[in-house]
Each structure stands twice: as C-alpha cells, then as structure tokens.
Structure 1
C-alpha cells in the first residue's frame, strides 16, 4: 500500500466536521498542556477502495501526545483518521499509517491510539473482542492492532438532520419531546448565549451533574481552554437556560464545518420539571441552523436502549429529538513498544472510567 505522510503545522489542518481533528481542537489541547502534531496523508484510491483509478486521496491527521508516565506518552488520534478504506483494507491502512508515523513521533511515544470515526462495520454481527481483533488485523504483517480497553470519545451517538425547516424538525421529534419543549417555553425558560463571565456558573451546574450521575469531574481549567482558540472554520459557544434569573442548564455547542456538536452539558438538580434541558437543545438546533450547519451531533448515548447501561437515560432523552443512530468503530491501539504497552493495558483494566464505580 502506498501512503505518504508529511508533518505540518496544525494551523494548516483542513476544515472538517469533526471538531476533534481541527486546528481549534489542537489549540484547546495545547492550552491544556498537551503537545499536538499534524500530518498530511496521501494515498492511492485503488489501495483503499475497490476501484482501478490512478487518482490519489488527500487528508490530514491531528495527533495528541498524552503522558501516561513520567517518561512515556501515547499518540492519541481523536476521531481520526477521517480517510476511510473498505473493511478488508482497514487494518492494512492503519498499520501502514502507524509505521509511517512512528519515525515522526518522539521516542517516548509507546503506541498510537486511534479513536476511529468510521461507521462500525460489524454492528450487526455482535462479534466478540477476539474476533474483532482478528478481523481488523486481517492482511496485516504485524498483527499489532488491538481493541483499546475503553473508548475516549463517544463511539455511539445520534445525528439530527438540520436541512429541513424548523417545523419539519419538530414534526420528526417524539410527541413528548415536542410537548416538553413547548412546556419549557410556556413556563418562561429563556436560553441565551453567554460568555466567559458565566463559566463559573456553568461549572457549578456541571459539578451537580457529575455528582448526580456519578461521572468523573474535569477541572475548571479544562473548560477554560475552550475560550481561547481562534479558527475560522470552528468555534464553541456557551448556551445557558434561565428561569427568571436562575440558571438551570447549560451546554457548550461547537461548530466545525457543516456540523454542530453538543460538546458538554450540565443541569441543576432543582426545578427539573421546568424542562429547561429541552428548551436548551431546541435553542441549540435553532442556532446551528442559523450557522448553516446541515447536521447536529448529540455526542454520546448508550449503544442500545438497555436500562442496564449507565447512559440509558441519555439515550431516551436524545432519541426524542429525532436523530439517527451512528455506531463508530471506537478506539484501537497500535503498539510501538509492546512490553511498555502491555503494562499500560494492565493499568487501564483497573483504572476508574468515565462512570465512577
């Protein structure tokens, strides 16, 4: 397989609907203390697709270097690469890409972790972890690809088509969701765009949410980093829902190319019958349409409606807005230093996850 990889300045990353592969996100991560690198990729169409074309495909890639010990890092690729081969060439492509990147990453990088944005090609097969590893490694020479212990970004989400009119979008929602949106507005919920001066208010709501749902808490500095970056093709807006002057719910809504994404959300444990979260989502949809976005990513649900999943409540809430499910491939690792990588995998098996035990 022919694949040419060249490093470049992250400022020259291509416009993309995936915020986490944008120059904006590179700046966020740098502000949070991480080193980022960007790479151009050039591949032959016939190597990735079932075509005889002599043409080439061009794309790029953002890699974040994440410390995992005092002197070791992993190269984390958030929702990348976007360039997607046919199923029987996925593993070969990732292997070739990894081998190209190895010489362009620091020696302390022990593995690459791809958080693949690709549609899960096995979602109907219900494959075991062992079979998934075998399938992705088919045709590779190293057999080094391995399903990660857990996903970093949501692998299951819902996308709402924003091309219809607002009335048509409302019509596609569940009747109860439409009712709750209108109920919230009747109760006097007002949603406003707010700035950095409301970050502490958001954070108080966020702490309530984490405690209520038993999820890990980010530091305030994590959200502070969202306010600094400048990128013509991507941005983040803080929306907040109020009843009179009381803030009840809030979200960071991102825009990247033609896609808006519900990035982070929070809500109060008080006055939940105000349905402020429904008004908040409806305002996000309206704002995304005003940005000429064609789709809205609700960013993270349980893979099914099973009540046993810790995100089952989110699944029911978000499903009501009329989106379509997307199951992604999730995180896959390619180890450069197998012994060090095995130690990391063992640690990750017992590490606390996003949902606290």
Structure 2
C-alpha cells in the first residue's frame, strides 16, 4: 500500500493517535518538545491510507559534522500495527531522505526481539546495529495481572522489603512541581555517589512541564525531607521509568521498594497495560530491578536504514566517537571519586589551619 505522510502540528491530536495505536511515551508530544528544547529538531508524522491514520512516527533530527548531513532517529517508535510496519518504515525513510538528506534513519521500536515484525523491519531495508541509545534488555511487567500475581512473581526479599519500608515512618505520594527541586537535589546526590552524569535542571523541569500528566513523579518523605524519588513517563498503554534516586537515609530505610510498588500500583489503576523498568545491565541497580519478576524481556534493539553512500563511514565513526565519550565520562568519574575528595580534604585542612593561626595586629 502507498501511504501519505501528513505532518502534525496539534498536540492533543497527536497524543490521541499515539495512544490509540498503543504507542510508547517517548512518542508523546511532550517528549519530542523537550528534545526540541534541548538540541534536536522534532517532527511528528501521520502515515495515512485512504485518509485513515495507520501509523505515526515522532522523529528527532540532529545535524551531523561534515561530510555527513543528518541523523534521523525514532525513539521507541513508530507506533503502528505489526502488519503495517514495513510500509510505515519505508515511508518514514523516504521522508527522512528527501526532507533532511539524512545519512541514516535509526529506530529503536517498542517491539519484542522474537516477534514476527522483525522480518518486516529487515524487509524495509533496516539492519541491526550496536550504536544503541535505549537498552533493549529490560523487564516489563504485565499490569493486567492482579496485585497478588505481581507480588507472587517477586523475590521473597522484595516482598519483605516492601513491607519493611512500608512500616517505616515514611510518607509515599506523588510530588508537585514545587517539590521537583528536592527530587533534583536527591538525584544529584545519587549521581555523585554512583558516578554518572546528569542534565541541567532545566531539562528535567521541561520534561515535567511538557509531558504534564504523562510524567508522574513519586517520592518517599521522612517528615518533610525527601529520601527517594521515582520519575516515570506514561502513555495509555506503557509506563516507562525515566529517573530515580535515594539519599543514604533512604537507602538505609529501603524506601525504594515501597516507592516502586506505589508507582506500579498507580500505573495499574490508570489502566496502563505495561510497566517497563527501562533497561537491565550487569550492575546493582539491575539486580534490584530483576527481583521484581522471574523473567526478562528483550526488545528488538537498534536498527539503521542507510540513506546515503556515506553510511559505512558513519557506522565506523559512531562507535569511535562514543568510545571517546565513554573515556571522558570514565575520567570524570575517577576525578569525582579520587581527586575531588582529596582536594576537598586539603581545602578543609587549610581552612582549619587558618582558623587556628594567631591574628596579626597592627
């Protein structure tokens, strides 16, 4: 079938189509607006047959250094029925080539690695790549299951810690915009402790403002003090974890267990069907995630469609650029964990020495 592409300029109309097609929250208008506010160009495309919208794709465009032209990226999209995937992807690729002279169209669909749609993606001219942004190995809970069934799938330790943190003198609830400053303070503390980089505050505030009710944030409070938070994005069908953090006191109280259970139950009450933990790695955070169920999920990952003869050079350059970025991040992590504490200690010693030195007169 031949599909007509119609750009969309109306946020409610766009989100309604994404939700009707069981799209991912990263395809919602507010997510694209946030990316547009922070370095990307965003377009939303309806793909229509005989006037009926059969697919939609929120594309993010970034200019590449010469001689490359542009990267066009579809995060957790497009949104369409499996049987329409090939035609939708071919139409989006043609648009990316004609409108942006793109070197590549890169997609990270919200489709399982073992689903029949993979062959349609391949038939549309895409190939798998390791240049990933979103991690395909993840854990997705089926929220159509009862709370008892979800609890039964958890590890025994997780059930115990949910009860334990629920018995502590903690208040668990959704936060207001005014309380996001406290969330970001906890996030910075968590990032410094764990050694990972974060965005400037404006980026997170824009996510909250642009997504509105599709970006709930939950937190645990000890009295008036926030000790843990969990930030989600949510479409009609899928909840997707974005950010989270804890203070040392929150960690001691196991606040993240009852907090995440609150978020899961809240999404279930909304009628959301899937709860995606957003990636599994071989680290302590992933070990915590894996205790929530007895299974893992594998999405199909990142696929590229070359749109230019320069694609082979691009595919070679990207891993080298990412490796350089990774080295820089490692250096920053080392600086934070070794050099900065030493400098702080030295500065404190100097301040103490000055405080004890006799005051000169005259």
TM-score range, shorter chain: 0.7 to 0.9
Higher strand share: 1
Please report how far the alpha carbon of residue 152 of structure 1 lies from its aligned counterpart in structure 2 after TM superposition: 1.1
Residue 211 (str. 1) matches residue 188 (str. 2): no
Stretches of 4+ aligned residues off by more than 6 angstroms = 135-138
| 1:335 pairs with one of 306, 310, 317 | 306
Tell me which residue corresponds to 1:6.
5
What are the residue-to-residue correspondences of 1:38-77 with 2, within 5 Å? 38-42=44-48, 58-69=54-65, 72-77=69-74
- Deviations 1:242-301 (CA, angstroms, capped at 9, x unpaired): 222322211212221132222211222345220011011011022112212233222211
CA RMSD of aligned residues (A): 3.3
> Mean alpha-carbon deviation: is it higher for 215-224 or for 94-103?
94-103
Distance change in 2, residues 1:237/1:95 (3 Å): closer
1:117 match: secondary structure: coil
What are the residue-to-residue correspondences of 1:197-346 with 2, within 5 Å? 197-229=178-210, 235-302=214-281, 309=282, 312-322=283-293, 324-339=295-310, 342-343=313-314, 345-346=316-317
> Mean alpha-carbon deviation: is it higher for 317-326 or for 242-251?
317-326
Tell me which residue corresponds to 1:81.
78
Distance change in 2, residues 1:99/1:276 (3 Å): closer
Tell me which residue corresponds to 1:52.
none
Please report how far the alpha carbon of residue 332 of structure 1 lies from its aligned counterpart in structure 2 after TM superposition: 1.7
Contact 2:155–2:292 (CA under 8 A) maintained in structure 1 = yes
Distance change in 2, residues 1:288/1:136 (3 Å): closer
Contact 1:5–1:100 (CA under 8 A) maintained in structure 2 = no
Q: How far apart, CA to CA, are the structure 2 residues paired with 1:69 and 1:248?
A: 43
Please report how far the alpha carbon of residue 328 of structure 1 lies from its aligned counterpart in structure 2 after TM superposition: 1.0
Tell me which residue corresponds to 1:162.
143
Tell me which residue corresponds to 1:25.
31
Residue 34 (str. 1) matches residue 60 (str. 2): no
Q: How far apart, CA to CA, are the structure 2 residues paired with 1:172 and 1:355?
A: 40
Please report how far the alpha carbon of residue 105 of structure 1 lies from its aligned counterpart in structure 2 after TM superposition: 2.5
Distance change in 2, residues 1:68/1:241 (3 Å): farther
Distance change in 2, residues 1:345/1:197 (3 Å): farther
Would you say how many aligned residue pairs link Structure 1 and Structure 2? 317
Q: How far apart, CA to CA, are the structure 1 residues paired with 2:141 and 2:328?
A: 26
Tell me which residue corresponds to 1:187.
168
Structure 1: gaps (5+ residues):
45-55, 123-131, 303-308
Residue 148 (str. 1) matches residue 129 (str. 2): yes
Structure 2: gaps (5+ residues):
331-362
Residue 352 (str. 1) matches residue 348 (str. 2): no
Distance change in 2, residues 1:17/1:41 (3 Å): closer
Tell me which residue corresponds to 1:119.
112
2:210 match: secondary structure: coil
Higher helix share: 2
Give the alignment's TM-score, normalised by structure 2: 0.76
Distance change in 2, residues 1:341/1:220 (3 Å): farther
2:214 match: secondary structure: strand
Q: How far apart, CA to CA, are the structure 2 residues paired with 1:297 and 1:40?
A: 26
